[in-house]
Structure 1
Amino acid sequence: MTEIRVLIADDQAAVREGLALLLETMSDVTVVGQAGDGLEAAALAAELAPDVVLMDLNMPRSDGIEATATILAANPAIRVVVLTTYEDDTSIVGALRAGALGYLTKAATRADIERAVKAAAAGQAILDPAVQRQLLAAATGANTGTGNGTPTAPAAEPESADDLSPREADVLRLIAAGHSNREIAKKLFVGEATVKSHINRIFTKTGCRDRAQAVQYAFTHGYAEPGGK
């Protein structure tokens, strides 16, 4: 595997340093920079062009959602993985809409973080199980709050305007679960070329320009399945 260059963004120095030490123990992972707020994260991302940014959400000057949007507007090839204490609907959906490809809570283990960083570098999504349940609950209208006592309105059903076929919807769900084209082909008993054709049609119908946007679309339009299956 090619070396994965990671930028850490967190306003707590102890957290940044701890994450840097943790990441440096992982094979094929190198920490190229650390940022203490969203503005610094965006500036360092522009300067260093890391493969992955490990992003906190609650930071001064510019929060993680704004920083994610700024970073990806300048360089869409960068992958952002959120690592935060927040798992409310607003934070999760806001981060995904800004372009984050992974979302973990700070209860994540070393193995969880390594898996998320390496998956993101490969263009695949990784969501904390609790975060995924929260998203799915909101998407189905089963959620009753944001985690702070604030009621949440049921999410809308997928718009019929996207006109996805049943097989395209299956492929979109599997993309959201983090599966590669090869894995999707095996699960659906088709060739990889067929999977690529389905993905191209999904992009055209949904307006997504890449796999990361397709993941966001799946979770914000109700296509993701419980447990990422």
Structure 2
Amino acid sequence: MSGSHQVKVVIVDRHALFAECFGAVLELRHYRFEALPVLTGPGHAERMVQRILAARPDVVVINADLGPRCHAPTIVEALARAGVPVVAVTESPDEALWGECLAHGARTAVPKTDPLTALVSAVRRAVNGEPLLPHAERARLISRYRRQEAATRQGRERLGTLTPTEGEVLRHLMAGHTVREIATRRFVSEATVRAQVKSILAKLDLSSQIAAVAVAHVGNWEPEALPLAG
């Protein structure tokens, strides 16, 4: 990087306070910065990539979780393909999310619990093309993501084997209804509901209702609207 060139950092984060505070820290170290708001709606990821590239960044700092309507790893992948170094920041302790960003091309993932100096150091090293993560650690985090991705995919496939009736029972469980409440709402016996729950658990290869609900949530299984209780 030429000495006459002032490095520009584009920050993409849901939290304006973090973006502005980190930007102020960067300016004290003679970097330029631009904070971009997170876009939502149709084509949000593509539009975010276009806006980021239009800002002509030397490096991008992006929150690994931009919310359900804006998939950060998709943006990271497009930026990496365009040759832009990306540093992911995360407030989540979920290492699989860190690994997902790395698998899509991020140079490193920095927890927001780390000092700001650690993030500044990551930006500097990314701009200079220096390694940011030991190879073994990078491989470990990506492997963690791959394993979770495979488990989620398997969970979705198993959810697809549920009958319409079992799907309705699972939707009730996701809504927090007990077996007795489900039986009352569906005008069947509690024994019938228990048998249906047992079948759901068998098909999902799980041992508890809580685990079944968790698989449905992790797999982004969309429950249909349930009828109001009479």
* TM-score, with structure 2 as normaliser: 0.51
1:111 aligns with 2:117: yes
The structure-2 alpha-carbon separation of the partners of 1:23 and 1:137, relative to structure 1 and needing over 3 Å to count, comes to closer
Aligned to 1:51: 58
Whether the aligned pair in 2 keeps the contact of 1:9 and 1:41 (CA below 8 Å) is no
Q: What's the CA shift for 1:14? A: 1.6
SS in 2 for 1:126: coil
1:42 aligns with 2:44: no
Aligned to 1:7: 10
Of 86-95 and 55-64, more deviation after overlay is shown by 86-95
Aligned to 1:30: 32
User: What is the aligned residue count?
Assistant: 139
> What is the rounded CA distance, in whole Å, between the counterparts of 1:93 and 1:79 in structure 2?
16
Q: 2:108 aligned to 96, 102, 107, which one?
A: 102
Whether the aligned pair in 1 keeps the contact of 2:9 and 2:59 (CA below 8 Å) is yes
Residue identity over aligned pairs, in percent, reads 19
> What is the rounded CA distance, in whole Å, between the counterparts of 2:122 and 2:73 in structure 1?
18
* TM-score, with structure 1 as normaliser: 0.52
Look at both structures and tell me which one has the larger radius of gyration over its CA atoms: 2
Q: 1:66 aligned to 52, 74, 83, which one?
A: 74
Code of the residue aligned with 1:59 in structure 2: it is L
Code of the residue aligned with 2:64 in structure 1: it is L
> What is the rounded CA distance, in whole Å, between the counterparts of 1:49 and 1:125 in structure 2?
22
Whether the aligned pair in 1 keeps the contact of 2:87 and 2:123 (CA below 8 Å) is yes
Code of the residue aligned with 1:68 in structure 2: it is V
> What is the rounded CA distance, in whole Å, between the counterparts of 2:141 and 2:15 in structure 1?
31
Long gaps (5+) in structure 2: 152-230
> What is the rounded CA distance, in whole Å, between the counterparts of 2:79 and 2:137 in structure 1?
27
Aligned to 1:156: none
> What is the rounded CA distance, in whole Å, between the counterparts of 1:138 and 1:121 in structure 2?
22
Q: What's the CA shift for 1:70? A: 2.2
Aligned to 1:126: 132
Whether the aligned pair in 2 keeps the contact of 1:33 and 1:44 (CA below 8 Å) is no
Code of the residue aligned with 1:72 in structure 2: it is A
More relative contact order, 1 or 2 (CA 8 Å, 6+ apart)? 1
Long gaps (5+) in structure 1: 151-229
> What is the rounded CA distance, in whole Å, between the counterparts of 2:37 and 2:141 in structure 1?
33
Q: 2:86 aligned to 64, 68, 80, which one?
A: 80
Code of the residue aligned with 1:71 in structure 2: it is L
Aligned to 2:172: none
